[in-house]
Amino acid sequence: MTAPLDIVIFGLSLTSSWGNGHATTYRALIRALSEQGHRVLFLERDVPWYAGQRDLPEPGFCELELYRDLDAVLTRHTDRLRAADAVIVGSYVPDGIELIDRLSAMDLRQLCFYDIDTPVTLARLERGDEDYLARRQIPRFDIYFSFSGGRVLDRLERDWGARRAEALYCSVDGRRYRPTGEAQVWDLGYLGTYSPDRQVRLDELLIEPARALPDRRFVVAGPQYPADIDWPANVERIEHLPPEDHASFYSRQRFTLNVTRDDMIAAGWSPSVRLFEAAACAAPVISDAWPGLTDLFPDGEAIIVAGSSADVIAALQQPKGTARAIGAQVQRIVGQGHTGDARARELVRALSTDASPPAETFLEGTMQ
C-alpha cells in the first residue's frame, strides 16, 4: 500500500467554477486524494473575477490558501514546498512562468505540471504565445501530467522535451454526479463557457436543429456568450450553472451535446470534464467527432457522433428506449474508469514510481 503523500498544488481555481472547467476537475481529484489518506495544500491566486463567483469558498477536503502576492506565498510556504512529495503547477495559473522558474530553483522532491488544456497549451507555444508556461520550462518537470493522452504524450516527450509525460484525464465525482430522477424538460442541452471555435459547432449541432424543430425544447448554460447571438425562441439560456446543479441539469435532458475546441479536435484523445459529468448522470451524449472518442464510448452504443444538424435531428427522433440504453452504457463506462477515485490512484501511482506504469486500455482510464 502506498504511503500517504503530501502534495502542494498551484491551480487556476478550486473555489470558483465560473467560466472554467478546472475547478470541478480539481475538486473531484483532490476530494478523492483526501479520502485515500493523502494531504493536499491548494494555493489559488485571489483574483476579482473569481472572488465574486465562489461556489466552494471553504472546501473541507484539503487545505486552501488564497494569495495575492507570489513572493509572499513562496516565502510563507518554503519549508512545506521543499518537504512535499510533489509540487504541481496547473495550466493557466497567473504568473505561471515566474512561479515555475522560482520553484525550479528550490530543489523540490518532485516538480510537476498538470496541463488541463494540453492541446491549447501546445498550440499557443507553437505560435510563440508564452503566457502561463514557457517552452524552455517543459524539460524541467519531473512529470508532465496531460489532460490529453494518445499520441500527445509521445509528442510531449519527443518534440517538446518532457522527461516523462503521463495522461491524467479529467474525471467526475460519481457520488455527486448521478441521475436525479427528475422529469425531462429539454430535448437537447449544452453546458459550457462561450468559445468562438466551439460556437461554430454549437450553431450547427444545437441552434440549427432548434430552428428546424420549433416544437422541441433546447437549453444552453454557461457564461460569456455575446449579446448579439440570435437564439431561437425555443432555446432557453442559463447564464451560470453552479456544480451543485449540474446533475439536475443533465438529468432533465433527453440528450446532451458535447462540442469540442479546434485545438482539442486536432490533438484528439482529450475528453472534457463536461463529457464525463453528463455520462455519470446517464445523459445520452451527442458529440462532434475527434480521434479517440469512440475508443472511449462506442458510437451508437454509448454515444452518438454527429457531423451535421441532420444527424442531431435524426438522433432526437429516436425512440426513448434507445436513448435510455445509450445513457446507461455511457454511465457504466465512466463509473468503471473515469471517476475522481480512479484519477487519484493514477496520480499517486505516477508520483510514487520512477517509470511510467504499464499501458492500460482507454476504458480503464488511459488512452494509448
Phi-psi region of 292 (alpha: psi -120 to 50; beta: other; left: phi over 0): left
237 and 324 share a domain?
A: yes
Show the beta-strand stretches assigned E in 203-267: 218-221, 235-238, 253-258
Domain membership flag for residue 181: no
Looking at residue 243, what is its pLDDT?
85
Looking at residue 88, what is its pLDDT?
98
119 and 202 share a domain?
A: no
Q: Are 313 and 320 in contact (CB under 8 A)?
A: no
157 and 196 share a domain?
A: no
281 and 219 share a domain?
A: yes
pTM of the model: 0.84
218 and 152 share a domain?
A: no
288 and 223 share a domain?
A: yes
Looking at residue 240, what is its pLDDT?
86
217 and 78 share a domain?
A: no
Looking at residue 354, what is its pLDDT?
75
With a cut of 50, list the residues of the chain below it in pLDDT.
Answer: 356-368
Q: In this structure, is the dihedral angle defined by the CA atoms of residues 357, 361, 366 and 368, taken in order, positive or negative?
A: positive
CA 216 to chain centre: 30
10 and 143 share a domain?
A: yes
CATH no. for residue 56? Answer: 3.40.50.2000
Phi-psi region of 251 (alpha: psi -120 to 50; beta: other; left: phi over 0): alpha
Print the domain residue range for 140. 6-171+339-364
What's the structural domain count of the chain?
A: 2
Nearest-angstrom CA–CA distance, 298 and 138: 34
220 and 94 share a domain?
A: no
Looking at residue 1, what is its pLDDT?
58
Nearest-angstrom CA–CA distance, 146 and 350: 12
Looking at residue 251, what is its pLDDT?
98
33 and 110 share a domain?
A: yes
Q: Is 114 helix (H, G, I), strand (E, B) or coil?
A: strand
